[in-house]
Chain A
Amino acid sequence: DGGDRARARQHVFLLPEYFKDASKKMKSGLMFVKLVNPCSGEGTIYLFNMCLQQLFEIKVFKEKHHSWFINQSVQSGGLLHFATPIDPLFLLLHYLRKADKEGKFQPLDQVVVDDMFPNCILLLKLPELEKLLQHVTEEKEIDKKKYYKYSKEKTIKWLEKKVNQIVAALKTNNVNVSARVQATAFFSGDQASSDKEEDYICYAHGLVSDYLPRELSDDLCKYLKLPEPS
């Protein structure tokens, strides 16, 4: 290993196993691109798999005082990157809500435009977009071309289904959803029964809110009749 190896930064990643098989068929098509973060509106790195036509978000485990030994080298920082599938509808929602300010039906290629993050055109290449969009838009078809308009009502219902789906996963994974529970479990050892349904819904709402602008998260909170976040 020469001096070059010493300077190259090493990134530790966890990727889906099936990337390996898909890679047999493709010469290129796996790429990291910067796209809009639907929660913050800022730029975030995503991983796009053109072969599988799937979008992945990158989450980074980062905690103070960690480093890696990787074979015969040391890598400071101790970062661990996760690439997990993200529902592209969260990103599309960002553009649909923005376009909705004009208050009319528009073709998708006029909705998903972004000077800041021009790679957003990749989103238009995702499969079954029309089916996805049904969850959050009203649509019209004129001369075989589809026009879309953001629907808040449909979006909230779609998000409610998401929340239910997450609640089910939290229960199967035995995720402790309440800080209060920890204390009671400590004394009674009876954790499972003390987790209230509302705690699960609150927790799930929090998880899905990481992909929503504040306003939509608040609307969902009201719709689910959850207590105002303190």
Chain B
Amino acid sequence: MATLLIAEHNGTELAPATLSALTVAQQVGSDITVLVAGANVKAVADAAAQCSGVGKVLLAEGDSLAYDLAENLSELILSVAGDYSHIMAPSNSVSKDAMPRVAALLDVGQLSDITAVLSDVQFQRPIYAGNAIATVTSNDAVKVITVRAAAFDKAAATGGSAAVETLAAPADSGLSSWVNDELTQSERPELTAAERIVSGGRGVGSGENFALLEALADKLGAAVGASRAAVDSGFVPNDMQVGQTGKIVAPSLYMAFGISGAIQHLAGMKDSKVIVAVNKDEEAPIFQVADYGLVGDLFDVLPELTEKL
């Protein structure tokens, strides 16, 4: 069982999600190769080589890989795919884009967003917005897998001393080209990696009112999330959305303010260790999954909570 793990990184550092996916790779087998692709990512490859259990690191650098274009990235993965029984990546916007392309080019199915490893060929994944858990296997020779990072502990980032081999970057496909990025600036922890999350919904009322959540988040060292209602109302940018169609998180503490708790939102956070809900409506479905519920006005509760912590 040889596994190829596609690293998630920001260009300079290995993302914590890569370590969660590495845990899955370790559960599947011991022969693990990590692929680091990008424009200028030698530092990331060196970090990957230090990770526990990594046998080899493949480093591919080039202009064609600079912006994670799926057409080029899938060609790169395909060029080495023959050597592996499992090809996996943490589930993120890059892998969701590229991995199905790899699977189709290999003529195999894909197992998306797995949450548990039962054996090297049997996995569990949520379906129907997390309302059912399917145990799945694939009959294909190569298993293409994306891993829900929030469902796995992180492997150790030290203890390894893998060799780094260089791969040639693929030629540009000519099918797509990068135009620009518009990234949201934030000093707070990244949502999917945060240990604590303070999240707001329609009940917060406006973008300005999110300052109340930010104050609490800063006190807790937490990330700030949002429901789709808050994003659609224009309170906050959409990369803050937690839910079936946004980010899937499982922090130790998730605090929901003014969020009713629609199925689609719960799909993104119900595996959090401790859930706190503050809502005016005592009938709100969020209270059914909350460990601690407080019926009250978030505009009273938030300042008091921030002060008492």
A and B interact? no
Interface residue ranges, A against B (CB under 8 Å): none
